Each structure stands twice: as C-alpha cells, then as structure tokens.
Amino acid sequence: MNTHLTSSKIWLFDVDKTLYPPNNGLFQEGNKRINRYLEKHLQLDPSAVNSLRKEYMEKYGTSLLGSIKEKGLDGNDFLHYVHSFPLNQYLTPQPLLLSFLDNLPGKKYIFSNAPQKYISEILSIVGVQSVFTKIYGIQSFRFHGKPHVSSYKRILHWIGAKPQHCILVDDMKINCDIAIQLGLQAIWIDENQRYNDYYTEILIPCLAQFLSTQEWELH
C-alpha cells in the first residue's frame, strides 16, 4: 500500500442519518420540532408548514435558510429550539464504528447542516469524536450549507484540500451529486435501505466497499 497516497485522502462526513441510523427516531424528533417552531412563529397550520418546508427545500436547500431569507426568522433561535432535546435517548456508543473510522486512512472532518453543539453531542455519545480533526456545522457556513456549492468551496478552502482528494459520505443524494459535480468523490448512504443493524449492515460495508474499489488503496 502506498501510504503517502492513502494519507492524502480527506473524508467529509455528514452527521444526521449518516453517523446514526435513519430510523432510530432522532431525526424524526428534530423534524417534528422544526414543524412546531414554524407553526408557532409563522402562525401556520400543520399542512401549510409542510408545503412551505417543501418549497424552501427546493428553493434554498433547507427549511432553515428559507425561513431566514423569506420570513426573517432568527436562525440561531431556530437551531436552538429544533436541536434541544435529550439525544442519549436515541443513540448508543458504537465501538465497532470507532475502530473502523480510526483505521480509515486519511483525515476526517464533519461537514454537516446541523449546529456544532448538537454534532459534538452526537459524536460524543456514539463515541467517535476523537476521529474527527474538526467539525464544520451550519453556523460555519452562515446557514448556507449543503447542497449550496459555496459550502463545498468554503470547506475545501478552510481545510486546504483539492476536490479530487476529498470523499463526501452523506445520506442525501443531492449532496453527493453536487460533490461529484465539483470533482469530489462521494459515498451515498441510502436512507431508503432496510436493515437490522445499521453499522454492520450498511454504514461500515458501504465504506469498506468504497475502499476496495480505490486504486489509490491498492498501489
């Protein structure tokens, strides 16, 4: 193995539904809280909130950015409300994931549309915080996160990396598609897959399969 080449690879990990299972209730709780926040602050009924969120997702990539741009809502207040609930009810330590990520060649960063404090708490409960060199949450991008091209360009600039050296790991296809358009590689962790054990049946095998196809690993 050419260690120089392997160590030059840089991993950009999403968090929500990538570093934990999509069906464990955590993301769904956050989603409910977004709806409640918008119902309250925009005085809308649930069906109006659903259609507004759909519109904002298409136009701005996130409900958060649409709410800031079109309704003047306070982004930090929005994030605080949506992410303030006990995360340890949904997550457990994952020593196997820690061991796998520890052995993955190259630096690892978090590139997420979630706020930094929430990300840190998730990493800490899952037990993988030591793996990541730095966390880039949504505030780092002034709320313009993925799939905005500017967020990819910013993170590449901050970490001093060329697109061809980076691999995005994300559950949203649009985020992976934009990464590939910009010259990064991407691993799509498909949220629609059904499985019993997320880490051993989906996430780790997806990463391992990707590694096995990489010429840089085999040189």
Residues that bind Mg ion (CB under 5 A): 14, 16-18, 171
Nearest to 83 by CA among 17, 127, 29: 29
CB of 44 to Mg ion, least distance (A): 25
**CB of 36 within 8 A of CB of 63?**
no
Nearest to 114 by CA among 67, 150, 157, 80: 80
What gap in Å lies between CA 190 and CA 209, rounded to an integer?
14
CB of 99 to Mg ion, least distance (A): 23
Retrieve residue 145's tokens.
């996160």
CB of 81 to Mg ion, least distance (A): 19
- Residue at shortest CB range from Mg ion: 16
Residue closer to Mg ion (CB basis): 62 or 164:
62
Angle at 44 between CA 42 and CA 50, to 5 degrees: 105
Residue closer to Mg ion (CB basis): 30 or 105:
30
CB of 7 to Mg ion, least distance (A): 27
CA distances from 90 to 86, 121, 182, 216 (A): 8, 12, 34, 37
Residue closer to Mg ion (CB basis): 17 or 107:
17
Helix, strand or coil, per DSSP, at residue 182: coil
CB of 130 to Mg ion, least distance (A): 21
Residue labelled with tokens 């330590």: 93
What strand order describes the sheet that includes 166-170? 134-136, 107-111, 10-13, 166-170, 185-188
Residue labelled with tokens 């091209």: 149
Residue closer to Mg ion (CB basis): 17 or 53:
17
CB of 150 to Mg ion, least distance (A): 19
Residue closer to Mg ion (CB basis): 17 or 154:
17
Residue closer to Mg ion (CB basis): 44 or 57:
57
What gap in Å lies between CA 125 and CA 110, rounded to an integer?
15
How many other C-beta atoms can be found within 10 angstroms of the C-beta atom of residue 121? 16
